[in-house]
Amino acid sequence: MRHIWNIFVRDLSNATKNVIGIVVLMGLVIVPAMYAWFNIAGSWDPYGNTKNLKVAVVDKDKGYKSDLVPVGINAGNTIESTLRANTQLNWQFVDRKTGLDGVYSGKYYAAIIIPENFSRDMMTLFSTHAKRARIVYYINEKSNAIAPHITDQGADTIVSQIDATFSKTIANIALELANSVSKYSSDSNANLYLSNLVTNLTIMSGNLSNGANQLRAYSSLLGSAVDLMDSANSIMQETGQDAGKLSSSIQGMNKSVRSVNDALASSSAAMQKALQASAASVKALDSQIDSLASGITSQSDAWGAEAQKLSQDVSTQAGRYDQAANSLQKLRDSVNQTATSTTFDDQAKSHLLGRLDAQISQLRTVAQDHRHLSTTLTDTVNAASTVKSTAATQKANLKKQVASVAQAIKSAQDDYTNKLKPQLDSLAASLSQLATSVSTVSVDLTSSLNGLSKINSDTDSSMADARKSLDASAKSLSNIAGKLDSLATTVRSARSGGLLSALGAGKNIDATLLANLFAQPVSMKRTAVYPVANYGSQMAPFYTVLAIWVGSVILVAMMEAKISDKGKAAVLGLGEVPALVGKGKPLRPETPGNMSYFGLHLREEYFGRYLVFLLLAWAQATLVCMGDLWYLRIQCDHPWRFFFVGWMCAFVFSNLMYALTVSFGAVGKAIAVILLVMQVAGTGGTFPVQMLPQAFQRIYPLFPFTYAMAAMRDSIAGSYGGDFWAQMGYLGIFALVALLIGVILRRPFVWLTTWFTHQVDSTKVY
């Protein structure tokens, strides 16, 4: 413990012994706080400044006016007036070209275009062809990540307001009408008016029924006329079928004649061409046979001569190898005899005779292989002679067969030219004349049939259309008469059932109140659980925890994590490092734990230097939390818990950064940065974890950010049960992991880390 304290005091003294050192320490403490404060202040209330977002509004609505609604309606003007009074967004009222150009250029974040037929489409609600009115919305999603969602919300709000206003207007009109009916029902003459209405409805229904019956009579007369036309049409169809069969036969004959004529011409040309090609092919074949036979003869002669020469050379070489083997055999016998008669080393003798025997055996094997090769070459000479004689015999046979084929082809050409071709030409001329006559007859017959069919079809179609119109009109009149009868019955029943008194009871209806209820039938009461005052306070846990982590990364990047040998010697009170040589085990220069022989252990080096890192990390966390609470004035229900979480984060994060750095050197610093990047994206600091990709949802419980931010949120807005202390417990587990890496797992990696550091330093670059 004494060595740990001495290292801490010495490091603190060295860091503050001059002004520059103090300035650096102040910078290490202030920079992380500035990082957190700027981000929290920048996101304090971004949604309160949406009035600066420019959104173009283009009103092209031409309005609507009809017999049902004699007063002109222009919903586009109403929307524009409403938006001019709305300050949620910066509405810009421009023409279509300016609005679209502004969206594409980035001048406007979005554009809302009210089309020309907007009011007309809204009023189709009262027709049989209702059509949904649409507003065209353009959004520049490239400009910003959040702005499109804000402008989308603005556009949705406009649509909701239009729907509510339209529903409110319709409901108000209906209820005002109900009030008018209620007042009218209170009149003393209302019963007489209803009686007259029933009488008039009954008279109108009877007149319409009589008109429908007359139209049905006219339709029956047309039906009789249509039957007569159908009989005439049947006769014409039978005639047309016979004529059609004749026309089809003529056309088939015409096609057959032309097909035969074309086939004759094609066959004649093909025959002529085939005979000429056959004659040319036979001549070429005769020449190729001569050339092939000549080539085979010359190749066989050359092949046989070369093989004969090679056979003689190989046989001569085999004899030479036999002579060499015999010479070595004589030498072996002499060596054996000499070694037997003299005092010669038996081992040397056996070795020498073995080598000679092996060489003799190898020479005789080579000689035998050469004799086999000579025999094979002699067989090759005989094969070449056989090929030559066989080629001459086959040449004679082929020449004889080619001459026979040439004579047959010449006879076929003479017969075709003098006998068959003149007869084919005469037949083709006759068929061409017949095809022309058949085509003329087919055209005349088809024209006559088409004229008769057109007259019959037009007359029948006109009669059928007239009858359909009469039937449809009669049906419409009957339907209207039936509806009038139903209406008269309904009014009669209502009068007898006390409807007038019921309507009179509702004459004091508040139309405006009920119209508002119809426009928005459901309202929502919002109750905030753990309320937070503003967006900056909601983002404070993320940016505060992130700043404390960044501060720890800056500490290990700016400060030396390892103690030099000179510093270790000073702590031990042993003087300079060279004085230690020879007093104990050999020292490894600048290696962690290399002075354990003198009483300074590896764990003491770790905690002694870490105390400075911890002190600065606590200073960073304290300054960040103080600025959050008393400079930015974020909401915080439990300030001391907030400070406690900050100090705990400083301890865990600095310990983890320090352990990674002293254990793995530059690699450990890189790991710290990688963990920072992963936690920024994957711990739910800005978006709920459930909205992140599946991979982040799996790994986020493994990061300290998750529990640090949860504990800070509990400090700001309140906690549920023991959640706060549970989060702190989970965060403490990472401190144990850091100690495990820095104190226990560090020892096996000391020599590897030292070697890696020396290699990096030797590059003179890093």
The Cα 263–Cα 428 span in angstroms is 9
Radius of gyration of the chain (CA): 56
Q: Which percentage of the chain shows pLDDT scores above 90?
A: 19
Where is pLDDT greater, at 246 or 13? Answer: 13
Per residue in 125-153, pLDDT (tens digit) is 666 676 777 888 898 888 766 666 666 66
Instruction: Report the pLDDT value the prediction gives residue 728, as an integer from 0 to 100.
Output: 94
Instruction: Report the pLDDT value the prediction gives residue 752, as an integer from 0 to 100.
Output: 74
Instruction: Report the pLDDT value the prediction gives residue 535, as an integer from 0 to 100.
Output: 83
Instruction: Report the pLDDT value the prediction gives residue 267, as an integer from 0 to 100.
Output: 47
State residue 55 phi and psi, 5-degree precision.
-130, 125
For residue 538, what are its two tokens? 């909601």
The answer to whether the CB of 536 falls within 8 A of the CB of 45 is yes
For residue 751, what are its two tokens? 């020599």
For residue 541, what are its two tokens? 């846990």
Closest CA to 267 of 427, 81, 478: 427
Per residue in 250-263, pLDDT (tens digit) is 455 455 545 545 55
The position carrying tokens 């600048």 is 590
DSSP string, 4-21: HHHHHHHHHHHHTSSHHH
Asked if the model's pLDDT at residue 503 lies above 50, the reply is: no
Where is pLDDT greater, at 289 or 614? Answer: 614
pTM over 0.85: no
Q: How confident is the model at residue 211 (pLDDT cuts 50, 70, 90)?
A: low
Instruction: Report the pLDDT value the prediction gives residue 199, as an integer from 0 to 100.
Output: 72
| Ranges of CATH 3.40.1710 domains, the chain | 50-183
The Cα 353–Cα 333 span in angstroms is 9
**595: phi > 0 → left, psi -120 to 50 → alpha, else beta; which?**
alpha
CATH number of 194-233+461-500: 1.10.287
Own/partner contacts of 222-230, CB < 8 Å, gap of 24 or more, are 222/463, 222/466, 222/467, 222/470, 223/467, 225/463, 226/460, 226/463, 226/464, 226/467, 229/459, 229/460, 229/463, 230/460
Length of the chain in terms of residues written: 766
Per residue in 586-612, pLDDT (tens digit) is 555 455 655 555 556 777 878 888 999
DSSP string, 113-139: EE-TTHHHHHHGGGSSS------EEEE
Give whole-number Cα distances, 314 to 19, 226, 303, 366, 367, in Å. Answer: 100, 115, 16, 11, 9
| Ranges of CATH 1.10.287 domains, the chain | 194-233+461-500
3-state class (DSSP) for residue 56: strand
| Most confident range, picked from 141-150, 399-408, 733-742 | 733-742
Asked if the model's pLDDT at residue 19 lies above 70, the reply is: yes
Asked if the model's pLDDT at residue 389 lies above 90, the reply is: no
The position carrying tokens 């750095």 is 661
For residue 582, what are its two tokens? 């020879």
Instruction: Report the pLDDT value the prediction gives residue 188, as an integer from 0 to 100.
Output: 52
For residue 255, what are its two tokens? 């096609």
Per residue in 306-319, pLDDT (tens digit) is 656 656 665 676 67
Residue 340 half-sphere exposure, CB side, CA atoms within 13 Å? 7
Where is pLDDT greater, at 52 or 581? Answer: 52
**Mean pLDDT for the chain overall:** 71
One of 3.40.50, 3.40.1710, 2.60.120, 3.30.70 is the CATH number of 50-183, namely: 3.40.1710
What is the arithmetic mean of pLDDT over 490-499? 60
Instruction: Report the pLDDT value the prediction gives residue 695, as an integer from 0 to 100.
Output: 83
> Which residue type is seen at 739?
L
**541: phi > 0 → left, psi -120 to 50 → alpha, else beta; which?**
alpha
Where is pLDDT greater, at 557 or 745? Answer: 557
55 forms beta bridges with 91, 110
3-state class (DSSP) for residue 348: helix
Instruction: Report the pLDDT value the prediction gives residue 441, as an integer from 0 to 100.
Output: 47
